[in-house]
């Protein structure tokens, strides 16, 4: 009997961020995949096992939860090099896309195959049990899609087979879930803001305030309204707009104007956010500014995001502060700050540590699922104690 291992997985539109066990392991995988064949060609096959598995993730998936069962994929960095790579489309629902499940299962399999005390391996088949904490956009939770998403995962075995992947070729991982908790993303962000890993309050100034949390993702924007330490379901709003469409537009314009084909949205994000040579690309070996393209497109998106904030704040006039979180906030931070200074002057805040903002959801899911597991164990011990006392009294 294998033990259950904690997994906190944020399948973000840009990348999967995941924490495992007692935080001794974490994974970051770009949310890109591409259909592939079983025997993908590899240059220097004899050196395959010296390469990084995360850069060469090639898998077959068997799961009743998938619409395309038994399909073969390149995942993450390897997929960005493919002509047929796919990223989540604007307007799609995270809970209804195979890509969400492919990325989730791939991250869990990568954790399991590295070996831990929660797995058992026989004849290259690894049995792995997880207690999963994950999340969906507020809009999807309000529509009840979390129920179907959770039921897809529970009660089935999901198998990931490693194909031409360094170190793990030929291994299979059977994933089972002992429990799955699906949290609304806005509430998770709030938990991360005010509580530590043991859910002790670390930010007392915020605990009883009415606050807004604007989470800008790749495909959607959620604005959570927090009052009395809970998400106000009636006031919370989700919008089908994120940074993905603008990143694609930047990609297209760079190709049209400069003839440079960027592999994925991830490359565009890197150009916009990196510390050195920001808003520059190499064209035929020459450092070239694309600031005219990025500036115009991102400013237009920032104006739309700012309108969302203004509309929600008007309906929640007693809000004291709005926190911007998510990968999209890191991309749009300077544009939104500039707009706010010129226009309404709302009390807004960003995380100066972009890494903290990007990992916020995964960290929050970890706190929530760890607390759930602690309480479950405590309740189980209490029940066992009662049964023992009952038996002794007979």
Location of structure tokens 């940074």: 243
Q: Tens place of pLDDT for every residue, the chain, 394 residues?
A: 568 999 999 998 888 999 999 888 999 999 989 998 887 766 555 566 778 899 999 999 999 999 999 999 999 999 987 877 887 776 678 888 999 999 999 999 999 998 777 788 888 999 999 999 999 988 888 889 999 999 999 989 999 999 999 999 999 999 999 999 999 877 777 887 788 877 788 777 777 788 999 988 888 888 888 887 777 877 878 888 889 899 999 999 999 999 999 888 878 988 988 888 889 999 999 999 999 999 999 999 999 999 999 999 999 999 999 989 887 888 899 999 999 999 999 999 987 677 777 788 899 899 999 988 888 877 777 777 777 777 777 6
**43: exposed, middle or buried (Cβ count in 10 Å: 0-12, 13-18, 19+):** exposed
Residues 6+ apart with CB under 8 A from 296: none
Task: Please enumerate in sequence order all residues whose Cβ is within 8 A of that of 208, keeping only pairs 6 or more positions apart, or say none.
Answer: 228, 229
Structure tokens at 157: 């075995």
The residues near 156 (Cβ < 8 Å, ≥ 6 apart) are 63, 64, 65, 176
Rg (the chain; Cα; Å): 22
What are the chain's domains?
A: 4-184+360-381 (3.30.420.40), 208-358 (3.30.420.40)
Angle (CA) 177 179 184, round 5°? 115
């Amino acid at each position: 009997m294998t033990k259950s291992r904690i997994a906190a997985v944020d399948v973000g539109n840009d990348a999967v961020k995941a924490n495992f066990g007692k935080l001794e392991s974490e994974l970051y995988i770009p949310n890109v995949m591409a259909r592939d064949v079983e025997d993908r060609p590899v240059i220097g096959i004899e050196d395959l096992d010296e390469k990084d598995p995360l850069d060469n993730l090639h898998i077959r998936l068997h799961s009743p939860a998938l619409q395309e069962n038994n399909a073969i994929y390149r995942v993450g960095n390897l997929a960005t090099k493919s002509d047929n790579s796919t990223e989540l489309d604007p307007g799609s629902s995270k809970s209804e896309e195979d890509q969400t499940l492919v990325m989730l299962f791939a991250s869990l399999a990568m954790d399991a195959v590295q070996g831990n005390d929660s797995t058992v391996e026989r004849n290259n088949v690894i049995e792995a049990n997880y207690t999963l904490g994950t999340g969906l956009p507020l809009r999807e939770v309000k529509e009840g899609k979390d129920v179907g998403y959770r039921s897809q995962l529970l009660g089935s075995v999901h198998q990931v087979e490693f194909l031409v992947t360094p170190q793990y070729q030929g291994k299979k991982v059977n994933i089972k879930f002992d429990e799955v908790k699906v949290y609304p993303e806005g509430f998770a962000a709030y938990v991360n803001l005010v509580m530590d890993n043991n859910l002790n309050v670390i930010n007392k100034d915020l605990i009883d305030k009415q606050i807004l949390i604007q989470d800008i993702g790749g495909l959607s924007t959620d604005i959570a309204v927090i009052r009395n330490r809970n998400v106000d379901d009636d006031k919370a709003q989700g919008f089908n707009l994120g940074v993905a469409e603008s990143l694609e537009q930047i990609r297209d314009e760079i190709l049209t104007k400069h003839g440079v084909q960027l592999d994925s949205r991830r490359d565009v994000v890197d150009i916009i956010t990196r510390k050195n040579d920001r808003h520059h690309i190499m064209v035929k070996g020459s450092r070239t500014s694309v600031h005219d393209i990025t500036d115009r497109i991102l400013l237009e998106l920032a104006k739309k995001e700012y309108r969302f904030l203004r509309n929600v704040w008007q309906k929640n006039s007693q809000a004291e502060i709005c926190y911007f979180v998510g990968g999209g906030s890191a991309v749009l931070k300077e544009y939104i700050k500039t707009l706010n200074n010129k226009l309404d002057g709302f009390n807004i805040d960003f995380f100066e540590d972009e890494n903290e903002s990007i990992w916020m959801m995964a960290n929050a899911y970890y706190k929530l699922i760890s607390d759930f597991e602690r309480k479950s164990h405590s309740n189980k011990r209490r029940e066992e104690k009662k049964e023992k006392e009952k038996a002794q009294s007979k």
